[in-house]
């Protein structure tokens, strides 16, 4: 497993990460097998959020593994805070309290990475800055990032926050390519030319912020998996063709498509299937050609201008 290129920090993070949003309903033995499968495949980065399962996912992760110092040192643990029932909350008070709750559930003294979970319309960046500094100085959080934020929202934070923003978690998959479409259809009047994200892809590249694509196998907003889905016959035919050519699974090709992008992204794979974890990890060793990348992009229904 290769490491993702992280310029602003000293983390040696695997190129593919495992998301833990769906583990709360699994048996402890299943969770343990899933995480150890990831570790054995070279995945050392695990993504959480305090709202996943109402906190049960974080707790299940630690309990199922029998968290201990030796195991913890093999992992990079990331969680997200800021979503509350019916609102978002980036206040200093909430960030600090939420981190303490996550630390307790994860049975650890520190988080490697903390992300602000989606934008808070009432954010006061001065409070975020105070919270980040308090967390860093106390040793509770090493590095920081955001999720689903556009360039101006990040710029607002950067004006006050001393710590570098190293990650931005954004929805991106073969069937959710809006941030790529807008860059291809510049100076056009067709629907893909509409930039909904403020050129966030290029912004992150310019500022050495690693994009973490979430839901890399889903289409729409949690509408279902596109792999082996009869709704996407041309896309699956092309993915299957390339999977056979490279001697890997279709899952591998879907992740390799994201890794081929020169932004050096780190896909967050949210599967609970151990075999799919292995297949996702193999994508680190598959480099699609430029022609193959575009063939998949077009097979997903996109058109070049």
Three-state secondary structure call for residue 301: coil
30 burial type by CB count under 10 A (0-12 exposed, 13-18 middle, 19+ buried): middle
Active site residue 52: yes
Q: How many helices (H) and strands (E) does the chain have?
A: 12, 12
Kindly state the DSSP code that residue 191 receives in the 8-state scheme.
G
Q: Which of 52, 203, 219, 297 is catalytic?
A: 52
Q: What is d(CA 143, CA 115) in angstroms, rounded to the nearest whole number?
A: 9
Nearest to 255 by CA among 214, 291, 303: 214
Q: Where are the alpha helices (DSSP H) in the chain?
A: 28-40, 56-65, 69-72, 92-106, 125-138, 151-160, 178-184, 200-206, 233-246, 250-259, 274-282, 290-299
Distance from C-alpha of 94 to C-alpha of 44, rounded to nearest angstrom: 28
Q: Please, are residues 257 and 174 in contact by the beta-carbon 8 Å criterion?
A: yes
Catalytic residue set: 52
């Amino acid at each position: 497993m290769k490491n993702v290129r992280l310029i602003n920090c000293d983390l040696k993070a695997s190129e593919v990460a495992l998301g833990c949003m769906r583990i709360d309903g699994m048996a402890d033995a299943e969770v343990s097998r899933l995480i150890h499968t990831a570790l054995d495949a070279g995945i050392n980065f695990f993504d959480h959020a305090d709202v996943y399962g109402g906190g049960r996912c974080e707790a299940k992760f630690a309990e199922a593994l029998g968290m201990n110092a030796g195991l913890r040192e093999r992992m990079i643990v990331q969680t997200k805070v800021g979503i509350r029932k019916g609102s978002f909350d980036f206040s200093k008070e909430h960030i600090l309290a939420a981190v303490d709750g996550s630390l307790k559930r994860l049975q650890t003294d520190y988080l490697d990475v903390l992300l602000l979970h989606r934008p808070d319309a009432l954010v006061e960046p001065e409070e975020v800055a105070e919270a980040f500094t308090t967390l860093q100085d106390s040793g509770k959080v090493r590095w920081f990032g955001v999720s689903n934020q556009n360039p101006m929202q990040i710029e607002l934070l950067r004006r006050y926050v001393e710590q570098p923003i190293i990650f931005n978690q954004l929805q991106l998959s073969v069937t959710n390519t809006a941030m790529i479409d807008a860059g291809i259809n510049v100076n056009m009047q067709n629907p893909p030319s509409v930039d909904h994200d403020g050129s966030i892809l290029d912004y992150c590249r310019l500022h050495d912020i690693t994009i973490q694509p979430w839901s890399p196998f889903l289409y729409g907003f949690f509408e279902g998996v596109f792999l082996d889905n009869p709704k996407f016959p041309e896309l699956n035919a092309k993915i299957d063709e390339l999977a056979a050519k490279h001697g890997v699974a279709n899952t591998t090709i879907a992740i390799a498509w994201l890794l081929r992008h020169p932004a050096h992204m780190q896909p967050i794979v949210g599967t609970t299937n151990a075999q799919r974890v292995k297949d996702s990890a193999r994508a680190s060793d598959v480099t699609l050609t430029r022609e193959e990348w575009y063939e998949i992009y077009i097979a997903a229904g996109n058109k070049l201008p």
